[in-house]
Homo-oligomer: A and B are copies of this chain.
Amino acid sequence: MSVQPLGVALVGYGYWGPNLLRNYMELPEAEVKWVCDVRAEALKTAQSRYASVPVSTAYDQVLADPAVDAVLVATPISTHHAIAKAALEAGKHVFVEKPMTADAAQARELVELAAARGLTLMVGHTFVFSPPVRKVKELIEAGALGEIYFITTQRVNLGLHQKDVSVVWDLAPHDLSVLYYWLGEHACAVSVYGRGCITPDVPDVAFINLKFPSGVVAEIQASWLSPVKLRRTIVVGSKKMLVYDDTENVEKVKIYDHGVDFQEPSDYGEFQLSYRTGDIVAPKISGAEPLYLEAQHFVHSIVDRQPPLTGGEQGLQVVISLEAAEASLRAGGVEMPIAVPPCTA
């Protein structure tokens, strides 16, 4: 680590910004130089909590400050591109909330710009930094689950309808970023069934069916209209299976030493299967806050000049997937291919 803490500026102090501010205030490796928002009253709220932090409604002023090494973008999605682009052009590293941009072209432009300038560009796919998600990644990497067969995930609850984006754009970025991180590959096709129950133009329930090049199939159920809050993911592999339930306080990940053993067809050409059920283990999971780990990772990526785990390419791939998913949903479920990002970077 450098001796000098990294100077950061937070742009956008609405719903999510305060969470970023709280974590960066506690991070020894960073120093918050500015909180910036076009709404003066939001800045007042920020100052009531952190009296010492300078605030500004003028983004230009922030970008002009040489003490600012990096900009954190937590504004509405439609503004991500412009704000991030200005920051990159001003030579600042950029952390931008998910989804990265409102469309793939915007995301691609940012990826290319960051690459051209040699700047770090990271997207806030926070779940990738969550200890239970990390634990599952470790297990997959170590081969503990064997070959992955399929994954299902539910992210449903009652509320908060968005006015301008569907439940796909709102909730699926979490699951897509996690699936891509775990599997180390991107979905190649998607079919989405859903409906706008409350306002027909804004789908609020979606069944997102995904195919991966390796043969893995996955399904994401996303809804703002479920009576119960579910955050449950089932990963089935050839050796073991696991359940990751983020609503559990203690046993967030449970590993089932269960499986199906396949015997070669006998003389009569019939296959024989036997089922194996063994112990169930809930490994100890660190209680560290994902946002703090994410903030740390951003700073370290810059200082160590290492590509972040959730860099611009990863953010772009999620946006490309969301576009395909949304198109499928709007077309009544017709399967859409998901392109590999043709970045020059």
- Write the residues of chain A forming the contact surface with B, with a CB cutoff of 8 angstroms: 51-52, 149-150, 152, 156, 158-159, 161, 163, 191, 193-195, 197-199, 205, 207, 209, 211, 215, 217, 219, 221, 223, 225-228, 234, 236, 238, 241-243, 247, 249-251, 254, 256-258, 260, 262, 270-271, 273, 275, 277-284, 332-335
Contacts and interface: CB of A to CB of B under 8 A. Distances in A.
Contacts of A161: 260, 273
Contacts of A282: 279-282
Nearest to A242: B227
Contacts of A193: 191, 209, 211, 217, 219
Contact of A191 (B191, B199, B242): B191
Contacts of A225: 149-150, 236, 241, 260
A149 B226 CA distance: 11
A226 B215 contact: no
A262 B163 CA distance: 13
A296 B333 CA distance: 42
Given A158-B258, A335-B333, A217 B199 contact: no
Given A278-B284, A279-B284, A262 B219 contact: no
Contacts of A219: 193, 207, 221
* Chain copies in complex: 4
Given A149-B195, A225-B150, A271-B163, A205 B236 contact: yes
A195 B209 contact: no
Contacts of A217: 193-195, 205, 207
Interface centre among A225, A242, A278, A283 (most CB of B within 10 A): A225
A284 B275 CA distance: 13
Contacts of A333: 191, 209, 211, 335
A198 B243 contact: no
Contacts of A277: 158, 284
Contacts of A152: 207, 221
Contact of A241 (B149, B198, B227, B241): B227
Contacts of A197: 149-150, 236, 238
A305 to B, nearest CB: 33
Contacts of A156: 234
B273 A283 contact: no
Contacts of A257: 284
A247 B248 CA distance: 11
Given A149-B225, A191-B193, A241-B226, A260 B198 contact: yes
A142 to B, nearest CB: 16
Nearest to A334: B335
25 contacts: A149-B197, A149-B205, A150-B205, A152-B207, A152-B221, A158-B241, A158-B260, A158-B275, A163-B271, A191-B193, A195-B215, A195-B217, A197-B238, A198-B262, A205-B217, A205-B236, A219-B221, A223-B236, A225-B236, A226-B234, A226-B241, A227-B243, A247-B249, A257-B284, A279-B281
Contact of A234 (B228, B250, B273, B334): B228
Nearest to A274: B159
